Amino acid sequence: MPPRLRPTKAHVARPTIAADLTEEIDVSFLRSQVGYNARRAALHIIGVFMGRMQEYELKVVEFSVLSLLAHNPGLTSRHVCATLSIMPPNLVGLVASLEKRGLLERRPHPSDGRAMGLHLTPAGLALAQESEQAVAQLEIDATAKLSASERKTLIRLLQKVYD
Amino acid sequence: MPPRLRPTKAHVARPTIAADLTEEIDVSFLRSQVGYNARRAALHIIGVFMGRMQEYELKVVEFSVLSLLAHNPGLTSRHVCATLSIMPPNLVGLVASLEKRGLLERRPHPSDGRAMGLHLTPAGLALAQESEQAVAQLEIDATAKLSASERKTLIRLLQKVYD
DNA sequence: TATTGTTATACTCTATAACTATA
DNA sequence: TATAGTTATAGAGTATAACAATA
């Protein structure tokens, strides 16, 4: 082992406490857990998402609803809630907001008087398609350290966790 | 293709709208994105976490702080915030709560009068060790569909995303 | 002048209870 | 009796601005 330089005031720039000791902190236990890593990775990607999707004025869940309806016209609120694990009361305001923006319409369900079918307007469908393109690109960028093959493996393993 | 039974009221139990059509909904776009799957997987594991960790009265972030301090005694608030991506104002109440429970102590930093070193008490260290065991087991259970090898691969790929 | 820790506060997200109208 | 949608509200979780003490 080579002799270390003496850590005198002359040598080091007197780092403040938190200097770069961050890297020396032992996070090995947390990093050995799937939950911790999945949460960190999700928050990382969501951070990139929020930055780029401001252009479309879409938050994460709003985008999910829009994309889901683009591929499944006429879904009811209950379907959307069950598919995306949203609590019904929390979907109400979200749908109202999208409706107010002219992106979707609530039509009475043909055979069930209680239900409302959710349909994207032409503007909503256009936004869904545009924003899906943006999300696909943003995801590639936010996970740039992954090869296409690794990305595919990662998705498969994540689905195995929650499916 | 075999002839289908007529879907008359006599045959089917007249399912309500949302019956089990949930499985026929097209979620292929969302499921092809890393962010969507990482968020779903993280929420799944956190759900299991919250259920089982009630016994220790520890929430996700509280556990992370406790575990981090168990392995790194004397860390400052700033270190904890930087390591776990917590905003300093949000750590204050959390630390105060753990201190009030007798799990940690805030000691003046030896060389920096502004900082406080965070140290677990014996009770805090004991709880950290117990709860780490519980978390390790809960993680195995919450990701039971994964083999040990797959779990390892998943963690490696997730870290590649956010590191 | 910059940093640590703190207060106060606001904003977002999520969860619960209760109601209505329809089935 | 159960379900779809809604309202109102409460609780977490997270974010910003501003301040005092210290570096």
Q: Is the CB of B114 under 7 A from strand D?
A: yes
Q: Which nucleotides of C are covered by protein (CB under 7 A)?
A: 3-9, 12-18, 21-23
How confident is the model over A75-90, as a mean pLDDT? 98
| CA B100 – CA B95 distance, rounded (Å) | 8
Rounded to the nearest angstrom, the minimum Cα separation between B46 and chain A is 7
Instruction: Report CA(A91)–C1'(C15) in Å, whole number.
Output: 13
pLDDT at B22: 62
Residue whose structure tokens are 């966790």: A161
Q: What is the pLDDT of residues B61-95, one digit of tens each?
A: 999 999 999 999 999 999 999 999 999 999 999 99
Band (B21; pLDDT cuts 50, 70, 90): low
Of B33, B42, B163, which has the smallest distance from its Cβ to A35's Cβ?
B42
Residues 34-53, chain B, CB closer than 7 Å to nucleic strand D = none
Both tokens of A76, joined, read 């009811």
Phi then psi dihedrals of residue B144, to 5 deg = -65, -20
- The H or E element containing residue A100 is helix A88-100
Q: Are A153 and B157 a contacting pair at CB < 8 A? A: yes
Q: Which nucleotides of D are covered by protein (CB under 7 A)?
A: 3-9, 12-18, 21-23
Both tokens of B9, joined, read 């009221």
| Average pLDDT value over all residues in chain A | 89
pLDDT at B50: 97
Instruction: Report CA(A80)–C1'(D22) in Å, whole number.
Output: 54
Query: How many percent of chain A have pLDDT more than 90?
Result: 86
Residues of B in contact with A37 (CB under 8 A): 154-155, 158-159, 162
Q: What is the pLDDT of residues A95-106, one digit of tens each?
A: 999 999 999 999
CB pairs A-B closer than 8 Å: 203
Band (A12; pLDDT cuts 50, 70, 90): very low
Q: With an 8 Å Cβ cutoff, is A15 touching chain B? A: no
Rounded to the nearest angstrom, the minimum Cα separation between A80 and chain B is 9
Strand, coil or helix: A44: helix
Q: What is the pLDDT of residues B99-152, one digit of tens each?
A: 999 999 999 999 999 999 999 999 999 999 999 999 999 999 999 999 999 999
List, as one string, the DSSP characters of chain B. Answer: -PPPPP--TTTS----TTTTGGGGS--HHHHTSHHHHHHHHHHHHHHHHHHHHGGGT--HHHHHHHHHHHHSTTEEHHHHHHHHT--HHHHHHHHHHHHHTTSEEEEE-SS-TT-EEEEE-HHHHHHHHHHHHHHHHHHHHHTTTS-HHHHHHHHHHHHHHH-
Residues of A in contact with B162 (CB under 8 A): 37, 40-41, 43-44
Instruction: Report CA(A80)–C1'(D18) in Å, whole number.
Output: 42
Name the pTM for this structure: 0.89
Q: Is the CB of B77 under 7 A from strand C?
A: yes
How confident is the model over A59-71, as a mean pLDDT? 98
Least confident window among A120-124, B2-6, B56-60: B2-6
pLDDT at A14: 34
Query: What is the amino acid identity at position B57?
Result: E
Residue ranges of B 42-101 with Cβ closer than 8 A to chain A: 42-46, 49, 60, 64, 67-68, 71-72, 75-76, 78-79, 82-83, 85
Least confident window among A17-21, A61-65, A120-124, A135-139: A17-21
Task: Write out the CATH class of domain B18-158.
Answer: mainly alpha
pLDDT at A43: 98
Which strands sit side by side in the sheet containing B104-108, from one edge to the other? B75-76, B116-120, B104-108
Instruction: Report CA(A103)–C1'(D9) in Å, whole number.
Output: 28
Q: For residues B8 and A35, which has the higher predicted lDDT (pLDDT)?
A: A35
pLDDT at A61: 98
Is pLDDT of B3 > 50?
no
